[in-house]
């Protein structure tokens, strides 16, 4: 089943779907697996596995810290691929690689796509790679049955949104506000209007991220999009009291454990 079909099938069971995020190797791969076990119990639909990078330009302070500490602990790209393979073999949710283009560039496009495919990923998010410079990588991805997650942002013109929508596959990541991850976003008429703009330029499912953190946010996204993308809020919970706090966080979202 391709990703778009997977999303539409899952939406018949619940809305919105849920995408979560962990930084590989932070605080450790053992911690990552414990986080993912809880996420799986609450039925998350997608997980981004972030390959740590020294200059994560789309990330806020907490994820910048997490990336740097993972690197300082010695996390390497090969370990992230190995961990991804373990995750996709163990869990039913779909897995995306999240990272920065330098990883794909240094490996070479063919090797990057081959490793992702072998590790069981369904796609990847490289927020610093413009679509104009991604044609070769996107072509290789399509051949391998992987999809690049295209980001649409509030600062994009309608002309730019049209270009982004034309190359998008599987789903689109709608960035709820300007800036980087981490800060709370007020889900308002302004965000709803932006999502309407996105809808004019793509028929693909929309995920909404940056600042999603509570049940009210999920209700808003259910009414206006398809997938709630949660990163910082879940990591904050883990850092506050590990399994206990992360479990309480998902319960607070109105989710039930399977």
Residues annotated catalytic, as ranges: 48, 59
Buried/exposed 106-145: b ≥16 CB within 10 Å, e otherwise: ebebeebbebbbebebbbbbbbebebeebeebbebbeeee
The bridge status of strand 17-23 relative to strand 46-50 is parallel
- How many C-beta atoms lie closer than 10 Å to residue 61's C-beta? 12
Determine contact, residues 25/52, Cβ cutoff 8 Å: yes
Determine contact, residues 29/235, Cβ cutoff 8 Å: no
Query: Helix 29-41 vs helix 77-90: angle between axes, to the nearest 10 degrees?
Result: 30
């Amino acid at each position: 089943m391709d990703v778009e079909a997977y999303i539409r099938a899952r939406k018949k069971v619940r809305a919105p779907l849920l995408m979560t995020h962990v930084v590989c190797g932070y605080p450790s791969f053992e911690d990552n697996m414990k986080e993912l076990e809880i996420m799986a119990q609450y039925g998350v639909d997608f997980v981004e596995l972030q390959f740590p990078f020294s200059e994560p330009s789309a990330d806020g302070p907490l994820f910048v810290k997490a990336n740097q500490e993972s690197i300082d602990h010695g996390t390497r790209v090969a370990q992230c691929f190995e961990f991804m393979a373990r995750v996709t073999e163990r869990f039913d949710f779909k897995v995306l690689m999240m990272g920065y283009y330098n990883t794909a560039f240094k490996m070479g496009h063919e090797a990057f796509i081959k490793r992702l495919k072998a590790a069981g990923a369904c796609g990847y998010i490289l927020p610093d790679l413009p679509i104009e410079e991604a044609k070769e990588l996107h072509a290789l991805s399509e051949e391998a049955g992987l999809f690049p997650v295209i980001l649409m942002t509030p600062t994009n013109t309608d002309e730019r949104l049209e270009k982004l929508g034309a190359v998008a596959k599987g789903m689109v990541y709608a960035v709820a506000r300007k800036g980087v991850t981490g800060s709370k976003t007020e889900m308002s008429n302004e965000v709803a209007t932006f999502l309407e703009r996105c809808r004019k330029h793509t028929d693909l499912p929309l995920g909404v991220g940056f600042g999603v953190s509570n049940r009210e946010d999920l209700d808003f996204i259910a009414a206006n999009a398809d997938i709630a993308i949660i990163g910082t809020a879940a990591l904050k919970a883990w850092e506050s009291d590990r399994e206990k706090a992360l479990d309480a966080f998902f319960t607070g979202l109105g989710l039930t454990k399977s």
